[in-house]
Structure 1
Amino acid sequence: MRAPASPVSKPAVSRTAQQQNEARQRRWHRFCLLLALLLLAVTAGLLRFFVVSPAGTGWAINKFFKEEAEQPNSPPPAAPPAASAPLRGTIYDRNLEELAVSYRLYSLQAHPAELTDLQEAAARLASAAGADAEELFRRLSSREQMVELTVGLDAEQAKAVETLALPGVSCKPVEARYYPGHAAAGRLLGFVNEENGLSGTEALYDSLLQPGAFRPAEAQEIDFAGQTHLGPQAADLVLSLDLKLQKRLEEGLSDWRRQNGAAAGAALVLDVETGRLLAAVRQPGFDPNYFWQTGAQAVLPKEDGPFFSAEFFPELLRPLLAEAAAAGNAELGGDLLPAAVRIPSEFTQEDWDAIWQKFGFDQPVPELLPLDPKHPAAENGLLRNGRLSAADIAVGAAALLNGGKRLTPWFLEAVHDPDRRQFFSRQADASPAQRLVSPTAGVQLRRSLLHDSFWASSEGFLYTNSVAAAAEKNGLREQHLQAVLIAAAPQSKPNLLLVLAADYGALYPQPADFTLFHDPNKLAELGRNLLPVLAKFAGDSTATLKEPPTARNEANLRRFLLSRRLNRPAAEEKEYEQAPQVMPDVVGLSLRQALRRLNPHKLRVQIKGSGRVVAQKPAAKTSLTKIDTCELRLEPLFKEK
């Protein structure tokens, strides 16, 4: 009989199949869940782009692709950023009148591809920004990805543009520097470009005026009371200049030059006890608001050397020094003689050399503004050719009238920290005087000049003189006519000294009749008119270091905004349209000349170095159709020997 077969375990097989089936179902459920989540995310994204966006479908799609491409030069549409970044520091005169001040403006920019109707957009933007609609439409029609439509919008105009909510349109904050006095003290103040000081006081104290930390060593003449840094805002400067006196002196010298045909001139007002400068003029000058448009004569300080160049003949001072020598004292080699028996005509060369050296006329006055060390004029005595600057004349004349003390002129009075709301004043011993003669001899000489000399008067001291002399230039001999005026007030003990000197230019081959060019009575009349002005400012010449205004001067702000709007006329745009749209050749030019040549093309200029242009990018004759920025590399004109 056959044994029965072993039975198969059906329940075990059934359980295995069931487990596999449940696993497949779980995987399927997970897949469906993931698919549903993905569809939900896509739906939410589509709703965000096509429904939620108030700007519409076109803006959303363009924004999506631009964000994917991560283009750095394509900022998203936004309201004008808050003007929270600190502005460049303000420069004040001694009465805290603004000499240089910065304002926050806006540059109107657009991405034309994001606008559906360029004509309508141009019209709406023109109304909000106060610009020309046709010009805006022309710029919006550019194929550039981003275009700058206009610059110089104020906060109200930027807000009006923001209210339009036009896609692809934004306002970029920019800083604008304004000089309320225009040409007054223009050469001393200098100018800025791309928020960097490039000339004058703006360059000398650039690190103080720039926002951020600084080192006290950058203004060694100021007592910072042990502080090693100032606040994050830019520091303000207080100069010793008096804006009213500066303007009066500018006008006086300008009128004199125009009426008498003088080609150039210089003037300054000096405190004879401290060396403090209350006014400093050199003409021809320039308006730092439009320094690139200045005429060819008004070269910039970094281009033609010292602020007060040595261009005046020593012979201008011969009668004055002869009188000083005749006044005499033990140290100068003679006894004091009565005025009636002095004979300045017997002033010998030996006498001249003695008093010339005694009162330091052979020592050039340190330059007010920094010179490139490679500039020939930076070397002591080089290129002076025995001539004097207006500062040399002033310091020497001051020594004759202040009791025999040689001064060093200066003009930085104090630094203000806006964060601490604190002034840091000039150190008392920052510019010590050097005694040239004994106090007794100095007082005796001063009394003689102020009371017994030919130039003494009840209103003050007034000396004038003119000379015609020859000078060599480039191997040629030229005849020059020059005049000088020295005034001091008050008469009892002057504390302010005025020097005004003018050059009538070169005459060759022979000098003309000198009387046709200069009438000594006219120069004396100018001095008599200026003496009361000088007396008005005499007394306490120190700065008024009260708390500076917390807001910008409203009158200056209104004038600035008006000037910005007037400087965007149709005529200027016509000049731009008619100018050849190729990069001009500026290599070899000075910075001012290069900027003047580039101005019609409305390019944003980046400057590297100082001196003259040695390289430019783009190259000359390159098409500017798709270019809005150029780079200039400058190097000093004078190479180190």
Structure 2
Amino acid sequence: MAKIAVSPKSNRSRLFKIFAGLILLTATGAVLYGIPPFLLDISRITQSAVGKMPHESAGENAAPAILRGSVYDQGFNELAVSYRLYTLNVRPADMTDHRATAQALAQVTGRPAADLEGSLKSSRQSLRLMDDLDERQAAAIEGLHLPGVFCVPVEYRFYPAHTAASHVLGFMDGRTGLAGVEGRYDAVLSSRTVRNSNIPAIDFKGQQILGAESVDLILTLDLRLQRQLEQMVREYLAAQGLGKGMGLLLEPGSGRVLALVNQPAFNPNYFWKARDDNRVNRIYSQLLDRDLIRPIMARAAAIERGGLDGAPLLPATVAAPDYGFSGDMLHDFARRIRLFDSVSDNWEGGASQDNREGSQEAVTGVQIGATLASLVNGGWRINPFVVDSIYDHGSRTRFYRKNEGDSRAHVLDPALSVKVRRDLFSCWVSTADNKILYRAEKRQDGSAGELRGYSIQRLFAGMVPAQYPRYLLVIAVETSEMQPRQGSAVTQTDSLVQLGRSMLSYVQNHPPQVAPTEEPPPRNEENKNQFFISRRLAAPKTPEEVAARAATMPALRGLSLRKALRKMDPYKMKVNITGRGRVVAQYPLAGSPLHGANECALTLDER
């Protein structure tokens, strides 16, 4: 047998390599022992963090550290408020014992442990197990320190008054206000950096930036008066068989809007369910025939023509038609007192500029209100406004409107304005209750013109008290039909006057309620309970709703956001939205099965 010779030098080299390897392994072990455990499984931790990331959706959004600011009426009644709830998310892949985890969660959530265990075993991906957990439940779950279990905060916007003042408040989609004060002052309510340019009508008292904490918006509205006017207008429309109407209650001396009504209204909590025309702010957009206030304009022009020493005006029944003024002359007078000026307070778009400036026949309800106010408040043209002040929680300070923030301008000679206020409405004064009660209607037969059918507009304008009006009320209704409505038009107009008289009496007996403090009160518990009840009622209960979860994805491309959300509502899915405009892309694709899916993505584009 041959022998293999091994040199001593080769043995020494091998021993050296083995010894060096042992030293390297020992050093590596020492280093790994000192590294924090979370670095030893980067992939798992990263995936877990991704699973915890919040998702934006319609009607809800991942809650920031500070909730969106609230909106109040002038008595600090809540009109829009945000609440923080939690979703229970799980990652079954991170769990060591599904049964023990299910039993622990069952004690907190109240759901059967067997159902929870089945959900945990159904998938190894991240799951949203439950919605609408309150802070107490979320804290209890976090206190269990269960692997793969975490609660994600979600902010919900709630409108406790429901349809009341819905056209003023507007609504939100996810994190963004889309209409009304929610849209116009979105940067104020949602930002942690609020500058004067975001709300220029407010005096910041020399400060440059507010909003280290949330900023609340206080409106001029009075919720009690708002609800009363809405109820009266709604009952009048129902009694007369009409569907659309508008109303405006304001202080003519200041321009403060106390109530603003559009019928039909909508519920901003479910804005996507409303028809498009229900969300139209008619008092700012619907055009009314200028002839509805022609008698008032003619008398005002006649008083101005007569001057301070002019004789009292003759009654309209014996005076020359329109006191001798032609249509062009009355139009020039209307321009001089700024009837056609834009009235928007920068929070809600009114009629188009072409309509406001170019039309000689049509104006909006709020333009009529602003003009009538200028004829009784000393000749001041004041844009009606709805924002009274803001409250900054960071500095605990309330900031009010600037004096020049009301866009005041004199449209009548100061001395002559006293005579105008005293004599203009004398023929419409009700001496029995010391109110100014003006009525008018305009009929149009569209058979030979652009209109198809028959249209009638009715207007009521009232003030109280008659000598020095403190409150001004404007109500307008319109109907369009193929044939004139049967019945007495006089009776219908008298009913409108009775409505106006009753509302003026109500505001006299129930003047606006101003909050006794400068600081908003704690959250209203009744509203909070109402919110939680609404969340529970929103859960699917019928077999049809439950079956809808396992249906197929509807086709949404080309639809507006509102229509898309309405179609998605039965599926109770979280909707992630990107962009603005109409839906141009969706995931899952149309027709895809939705079994096990709990969210979808929509991409919008304005093109």
TM-score by length of 2: 0.83
- Secondary structure of the residue aligned to 1:226 is coil
From 357, 379, 386, give the equivalent of 2:361: 386
Matched, 1:365 2:338: no
Matched, 1:511 2:484: yes
Structure 1 residue 520 displacement after superposition: 2.6
Q: Which amino acid aligns with 2:290?
A: P
Matches of 2:206 and 2:280 in 1, distance apart? Answer: 36
Matches of 2:118 and 2:490 in 1, distance apart? Answer: 55
Structure 1 residue 157 displacement after superposition: 2.3
1:197-212 → structure 2 map (5 Å cutoff): 197-212=177-192
Structure 1 residue 614 displacement after superposition: 4.6
Matched, 1:568 2:539: yes
- Matching residue of 1:330: 306
Matches of 2:345 and 2:527 in 1, distance apart? Answer: 28
Structure 1 residue 556 displacement after superposition: 1.8
- Matching residue of 2:524: 553
Structure 1 residue 426 displacement after superposition: 0.6
From 129, 140, 146, give the equivalent of 2:126: 146
CA distance 1:170–1:215, shift in 2 (3 Å)? same
- Secondary structure of the residue aligned to 2:233 is helix
Matched, 1:525 2:501: no
- Matching residue of 1:630: 601
- Secondary structure of the residue aligned to 1:381 is helix
From 76, 84, 89, give the equivalent of 1:109: 89
1:151-550 → structure 2 map (5 Å cutoff): 151-163=131-143, 165-295=145-275, 297-299=277-279, 308-321=284-297, 324=300, 329-330=305-306, 335-339=311-315, 342-343=317-318, 346-347=321-322, 350-359=325-334, 360=337, 362-368=339-345, 377-379=352-354, 381=356, 386-453=361-428, 455=430, 457-470=432-445, 476-503=451-478, 505-508=479-482, 510-513=483-486, 515=488, 519-536=492-509, 544=515, 546-549=517-520
CA distance 1:24–1:124, shift in 2 (3 Å)? closer
8 Å CA contact 1:328–1:336 kept in 2: the answer is no
8 Å CA contact 2:553–2:592 kept in 1: the answer is yes
8 Å CA contact 1:459–1:532 kept in 2: the answer is no
Structure 1 residue 36 displacement after superposition: 5.9
Structure 1 residue 391 displacement after superposition: 0.3
Structure 1 residue 115 displacement after superposition: 5.3
From 78, 82, 89, give the equivalent of 2:69: 89
Worse overlay, 167-176 or 122-131: 122-131
CA distance 1:120–1:524, shift in 2 (3 Å)? farther
Matched, 1:590 2:570: no
8 Å CA contact 1:330–1:441 kept in 2: the answer is no
Q: Which amino acid aligns with 2:289?
A: F
Worse overlay, 424-433 or 605-614: 605-614
8 Å CA contact 2:164–2:226 kept in 1: the answer is yes
8 Å CA contact 1:314–1:387 kept in 2: the answer is yes
- Secondary structure of the residue aligned to 1:74 is helix
1:48-127 → structure 2 map (5 Å cutoff): 66-67=43-44, 70=47, 72-75=49-52, 85-114=65-94, 125=105
- Matching residue of 2:58: none
8 Å CA contact 1:605–1:632 kept in 2: the answer is no
8 Å CA contact 1:464–1:483 kept in 2: the answer is yes
CA distance 1:66–1:401, shift in 2 (3 Å)? same
Worse overlay, 473-482 or 167-176: 473-482
Q: 1:322-372 CA deviation, whole Å, 9 max, x = no partner?
A: 555566652599742354x75368337835543454244751432245578
8 Å CA contact 1:457–1:491 kept in 2: the answer is no
CA distance 1:131–1:534, shift in 2 (3 Å)? farther
Matches of 2:319 and 2:533 in 1, distance apart? Answer: 58
Structure 2 gaps, min length 5: 1-7, 54-61
TM-score by length of 1: 0.79
Matches of 2:495 and 2:114 in 1, distance apart? Answer: 56
Count of aligned pairs between the two proteins: 587
Matches of 1:610 and 1:467 in 2, distance apart? Answer: 40
CA distance 1:585–1:455, shift in 2 (3 Å)? farther
8 Å CA contact 1:93–1:240 kept in 2: the answer is yes
- Matching residue of 2:590: 620
Matches of 1:410 and 1:108 in 2, distance apart? Answer: 43
Structure 1 residue 385 displacement after superposition: 8.1
CA distance 1:295–1:70, shift in 2 (3 Å)? closer
Matches of 1:462 and 1:149 in 2, distance apart? Answer: 61
Structure 1 residue 433 displacement after superposition: 2.6
Q: 1:255-310 CA deviation, whole Å, 9 max, x = no partner?
A: 11122222111111111112111111112121111112224542356xxxx76213
**How much identity, in percent, do the aligned residues show?**
32
Worse overlay, 585-594 or 341-350: 341-350
Structure 1 residue 41 displacement after superposition: 8.8
Worse overlay, 559-568 or 511-520: 511-520
8 Å CA contact 2:220–2:258 kept in 1: the answer is yes
Structure 1 residue 208 displacement after superposition: 0.9
